[in-house]
Amino acid sequence: MSRISQLQLEQVKKCSATFVLAVNDTMNVINGKWKLPIVGSLLFGKKRFKELERDIPKITPRMLSKELKDLEMNGIVTRTVYDSIPVTVEYELTKSGESFKRVLDVMVEWGLQHRKSAMGNMK
Amino acid sequence: MSRISQLQLEQVKKCSATFVLAVNDTMNVINGKWKLPIVGSLLFGKKRFKELERDIPKITPRMLSKELKDLEMNGIVTRTVYDSIPVTVEYELTKSGESFKRVLDVMVEWGLQHRKSAMGNMK
DNA sequence: TATAGCACTATACTTTAGTATAGTAGTTAC
DNA sequence: GTAACTACTATACTAAAGTATAGTGCTATA
């Protein structure tokens, strides 16, 4: 009936399950309206809360705070509190966070190509 | 005051605006709960509506129909109606849609690496 | 004393996304 | 005639995501 054995099928299943997990992890960095702008801004260097707020138009402090917590939990961003007066807090990408640039790069690349070929199909 | 000229600043802005558009285009393929599963399934070859429904656990026909329309509009998927009896409809990835595999690949790659380094940080 | 800056939090609300359930219109098989 | 298959659509609902607005506790400056 089938060309592949039961064992092979199990292996394929395990493999694709791992892939799904990996893709989901990636999605956690980019889902929602504000995560990509935040990561994008932090790719230019560490920033304070207010700096990010000014960098990202229309974001509310509630959303910024929420998404930063999320990114911190997912190991994308670190939060450092300095006991200066008043306190300053710095947000910085982790190594994983920085390496996300590679993903962004292919997203840009694909997006540009897709735009080009979509234009081609309209003519 | 600043190290770069006004002209240079304008160029940077234009460039980053293009990048934002490109990334947004990419996001349109992957946002929501069901687009990635659909594209993922179609990467294994063209499928009929019911086949996709069976392939993707828990998806409702409403969502499948909606997301397929969305993907069609965005030039990721083509819809072909055959006037057999009863009608059969086939969904297939466009060239752009197929090339999206590259993006998925780096997403998997990054996700796997991120998982590894996150584990490392826990120990 | 008033105003402003920093780094948020709280509450209430609206909007968007997704679900549940049923139904349409055709054909084929029992 | 009734059940099942295909490819959906319609309506009503819930859940999740995001917004608006105000407020906290601190300090520094005018």
Neighbouring CB atoms inside 10 A of A123's CB total 4
Judge contact between B78 and B72, C-beta under 8 A: yes
CA dist., res. A83 & res. A51, Å (int): 18
**Quick one: CA dihedral A30, A36, A42, A43, positive or negative?**
positive
Q: Which of B9, B63, B1 is nearest to B36 (CA)?
A: B63
* CA atoms in the 13 A half-sphere facing the CB of A2: 6
**What ipTM score was computed for the predicted complex, to two decimals?**
0.89
The strand D neighbours among A residues 24-53, by Cβ under 7 Å, are: 31-34
Higher-confidence residue of A90 and A2: namely A90
Query: Strand order in B47-48's β-sheet?
Result: B47-48, B88-93, B77-82
Binned at pLDDT 50, 70 and 90, residue B3 comes out as low
CA dist., res. A19 & res. A76, Å (int): 20
Q: Per the structure block, which two tokens stand in for B63?
A: 């969502």
Instruction: State residue B123's pLDDT score.
Output: 44
Instruction: State residue B97's pLDDT score.
Output: 97
**Quick one: CA dihedral A7, A11, A12, A17, positive or negative?**
positive
Q: Is A3 exposed, middle or buried (0-12, 13-18, 19+ CB in 10 A)?
A: exposed
Chain mean pLDDT for chain A: 91
* Residues A67, A72, A76, A80, Cα dihedral to 10°: 110
* Domains defined along chain A, listed by start: 32-122 (1.10.10.10)
CB-proximal positions of chain C, under 7 Å:
5-11, 17-23, 25-28
Strand C contact at CB of residue B111, distance < 7 A: no
Q: Per the structure block, which two tokens stand in for B14?
A: 């234009």
* Smallest CA–C1' separation from A79, nucleotide: C7
Compute the average pLDDT of residues B89-97: 97
Judge contact between B17 and B43, C-beta under 8 A: no
Compute the average pLDDT of residues A104-120: 91
Q: How many beta-carbon pairs under 8 angstroms link A with B? A: 95
Q: Residue A14 above 80 pLDDT?
A: no
Judge contact between B114 and A25, C-beta under 8 A: yes
| B53: closest CA of chain A, how far (Å) | 18
Whose tokens are 């605006």? That residue is B17
* Residues A19, A24, A31, B107, Cα dihedral to 10°: -30
For A18-77, write each residue's pLDDT tens digit: 999 999 999 999 999 999 999 999 999 999 999 999 999 999 999 999 999 999 999 999
